[in-house]
Amino acid sequence: MYTVELVTKNEFSFLELRNKDKTSLARICLEEGGRLQELKFKNIFLIKEPPNLDYKVSYASSILFPFVSRVQAGKYSFQGKDYQLDCNQADENALHGLVYNKNFKLIEKQENTHNCSVTIGYKETKKSKGFPFMYEIYITYILTNKQISLSVQIKNTDTKSYPFTLGWHPYFISDNLSKSSLSFKSDKKITFDENLITKEIVYSKSPEIFKIEDKQLDDCFILNANNIGFTTPSYQIEITTDLEDNYLQIYTPPGFSLIAIEPMTGISNSFNNKIGLQVLEPNASYSLTWKIKLIN
């Protein structure tokens, strides 16, 4: 039997989804944007809160909405109006959206023989200066023996349309990152300036096996398929989505045996360059699903 338990620790509230013997477990932090703080299958940790890497710096497993990555100087225009977002990256750029620190509420939970699930939600009730629009966001996590799915639904509860991109920022651990590798299909890469703002799209065919070795990565790719593989000496996983148009950001923080594998619907500065940018009309909804599956 799979169960869901509410756990409180250090004034934070967590939902723990787990099987009977706790060999498969997902821990979700409600106060930090409903992020997936821990994930393990068959007693192997894929995601685990790293020591000495503050969430305010890492944004580990945060949901990125209404924009992914960066908005240059926090400035953008939409439908003839200019907006200024708060610049939460060293007062230089707006970074990783607006919901990473929101307090999500439990909407529903289900406990079954072969899986369990929770749906959590956040309703924006105050229009911010930089994004003066009303929205609701719901996240449903479903845990099985060797898979977790994360479904996100956005609802426009405003009377006006607004722009958006959507992404996810999970970090995966490896007992030997230099001997780990990625697999994905791409023949286009994004080039950045010194502030990681998009410059242009260039042709760059990725190898079938992308070896991490000693690379310090902060790279973005346009994907030709909706699956990403990650292989470490301890485990192999596949990350999939139900979208056709996908972007991938990969990042290795210096000094940690971690890699951020970030599926996104847009790229850095999408609010200005329009790459991957979508518009959500009043009363409309948008949804997508990401899945992580343990292969071995």
> pLDDT for 242-264, tens place per residue?
988 899 999 999 989 999 999 99
φ, ψ at 152 (rounded to 5°): -120, 130
Compute the mean pLDDT over every residue in the chain, rounded to the nearest whole number.
96
User: Against a cut of 0.75, is the pTM above it?
Assistant: yes
Does residue 139 contact residue 34 with C-beta atoms inside 8 Å?
Answer: yes
Give the per-residue pLDDT at 228.
98
pLDDT interval class at 284 (50, 70, 90): very high
pLDDT value of position 10: 86
Give the 3-state secondary structure of residue 69: coil
3-294, what's its fold?
Beta-galactosidase; Chain A, domain 5 (2.70.98)
Task: Compute the average pLDDT of residues 278-288.
Answer: 98
Note the pLDDT of residue 60: 96
43-52, 70-79, 155-164: least confident range: 43-52
Candidate from 118-122, 140-144, 244-248 with smallest mean pLDDT: 244-248
Q: What is the pLDDT averaged over residues 184-192?
A: 97
Q: Cβ(25)–Cβ(17) under 8 Å?
A: yes
In the structure, what pLDDT confidence band is assigned to residue 50 with cuts at 50, 70 and 90?
confident
pLDDT band at 98 (very low <50, low <70, confident <90, very high): very high
Q: Which residue has the tokens 């240059």?
A: 72
Residue 181's pLDDT is what? 97
| Residue 162 identity (one-letter amino acid) | Y
Average pLDDT for residues 87-110, to the nearest whole number? 94
Question: In which band, very low, low, confident or very high, does the pLDDT at 218 lie, cut at 50, 70 and 90?
Answer: very high
Q: What residues are paired with 260 via a beta bridge? A: 171, 251
pLDDT of residue 52: 84
| Six-digit token string for 225 | 């398929």
The answer on pLDDT for 53 being more than 90 is: no
Spatial neighbors of 1 by CB under 8 A, at least 6 apart, are 19, 20, 111, 112, 113
- Tally Cβ neighbours within 10 Å of residue 67: 27
Amino acid at 233: P
130 pLDDT tier (thresholds 50, 70, 90): very high
Q: How confident is the model at residue 7 (pLDDT cuts 50, 70, 90)?
A: very high
Residue 86: phi and psi, rounded to 5, are -65, 135
pLDDT tens for each residue of 72-94: 999 999 999 999 999 998 879 99
**One-letter-per-residue 3-state SS of 115-131:** CEEEEEEEECCCCCCCC
Token reading at 98: 């607006």
User: What's residue 85's pLDDT?
Assistant: 97
**Exposed / middle / buried, residue 207 (Cβ in 10 Å: 0-12, 13-18, 19+):** exposed
Residue type, 275: I
What pLDDT was estimated at residue 244? 86
